[in-house]
Amino acid sequence: MKQLEKGSKKLLNAWAFYDWANSVYTLTIASSIFPIFYSALFMSEVKKVTAFGFEFKSTALITFVTAFTFLIVALTSPILSGIADYVGNKKNFMKFFCYVGGLGCIGLYWFSLEHIHISLLFYFMGLIGYWGSLVFYNSYLPDIAFPEQQDKVSARGFSMGYIGSVLLLVFNLAMVMKPEFFGFDVSIAPEILASGNASEIASATEAANNAASMNAMRVSFITVGLWWILFSQYTFYILPKGVSSGQKVTKAIVFNGFRELKLVWKDLTENLRLKRYLLAFFVFSMAVQTIMLVAVYFGEEEIAWGDSGEKTMGLITSILIIQLVAVAGATLTSKASYKFGNIKTLIVVNCIWMALCFYAYFMITPKDFYIAAAFVGFVMGGIQSLARSTYSKFLPETKDTTSYFSFFDVAEKIGIVIGMVIFATIDQITGSMRNAILFLFIFFLVGIILLLRVPKTN
């Protein structure tokens, strides 16, 4: 296919369409159905699991694996981006991570506590596939869009992602809540029916419905993997391959990514605006990503739901609220940044996040959680799209966009590792996720102070 010109509508839409393909991972696996499924595997109140020779609290195990995955992504992305710069084929790297992630999601169908290590491997594959592909996806932005287009196309990508992921989640939610409509077995043993014991029949019916819902959740993981892999094909077909240097990959080139990061760090000393913005991003992104990764676990543990059915419906409903509101949030934030400027808009958004941390500490009822979900959705869509496009706009004139976005990605991932470790430590010591959420207030406050120090020009 003939390479499209930079800034062309078809090229921009094809780039944004990858958000449609991969955002189903963050919604179904990271944010909603998998956390509910994982929690349901533990039947007792004391949720413990043995893995790697140690006994973990269930949520602590997933938190550690998640933090470890982000650490791996942070360490390997410089190597991969360095290779991609030389072979001029970042699209192949993006494909690789896409397929690893998609297959990892499909593998979650077999997730079980009895085979916890292989199960966690599938979880690891999905997570590393998603975030690994984003390194190369984000680095395409300045290659395919002019500076004046980047805010808009970045917001379009997030909006497409939210819409696509909500469509699949609604389908998966229907399967989980009404599994019998989709052919899942909800029958109970004939001898129990024949007994005529109302209590036994009710108990058996509930158990059958719960088992069918769990099977539906497992199937939903397959739908995520297939959606991600299949819809990404359009993006891969349209995006340019890249410009090859004609050099073979050697040991020096493999580790060139770290040297490139060192050069980027050196360049930052001469680019005060980009340096100060990146520091501010590191701090507030640490809190944003941590909240997004633990939100459902917080709702599952800290909110007073009526029963397991209400809890499942309530948690997924709140996620849907977040996604739907986020579409408007990303669009309105893009417009606000055009009128008031990126930094001023980010400061306001961080103020809202700061207020939400304080509000979350006092949440008790499902209604409280739904209200918080609406505000989280509004600022989540805005801060993600604007943070990415602001960094892109502040970059110096360079063809080496992959290294700069690799640096951006490494900063984000290290921030996530630190944020999650801090969150888990406070949760473990104090015994309450509320205290951990409240502590994130500090990160947003510091982020605002640092954003105020970003100069208008370099």
What domains are there in the chain, each with its CATH number? 9-452 (1.20.1250.20)
Chain length of the chain? 458
Examine the pLDDT at 1 and tell me if it is beyond 80.
no
Rounded to whole angstroms, the Cα distance separating 40 from 27 reads 18
User: What is the DSSP secondary structure assignment for residue 441, as one 8-state letter?
Assistant: H
- CA distances to 100, 250, 323, 414 from 66, rounded to whole Å, are 16, 31, 22, 12
Q: Is 112 exposed, middle or buried (0-12, 13-18, 19+ CB in 10 A)?
A: exposed
Least confident of 222-231, 296-305, 357-366: 296-305
CA-CA distance, 344 to 353, in Å (whole number)? 15
Q: Is the pTM of this model over 0.75?
A: yes
By CB atoms closer than 10 A (0-12, 13-18, 19+), residue 94 is buried
DSSP string for residues in 190-222:
HHHHHH--HHHHHHHHHHHHHHHHHHHHHHHHH
CA distance 145 to 234: 18
pLDDT tens-place string over residues 173-229: 889 888 888 888 767 767 666 666 677 777 776 777 778 888 999 999 999 999 999
Q: What pLDDT, on the 0 to 100 scale, is given for residue 253?
A: 64
Stretch (H or E) spanning 137: helix 116-139
- What residues contact 96, with CB distance under 8 A and at least 6 apart? 132
Q: Which residue has the higher pLDDT, 396 or 374?
A: 374
Please indicate whether residue 1 or residue 81 has the higher confidence score (pLDDT). 81
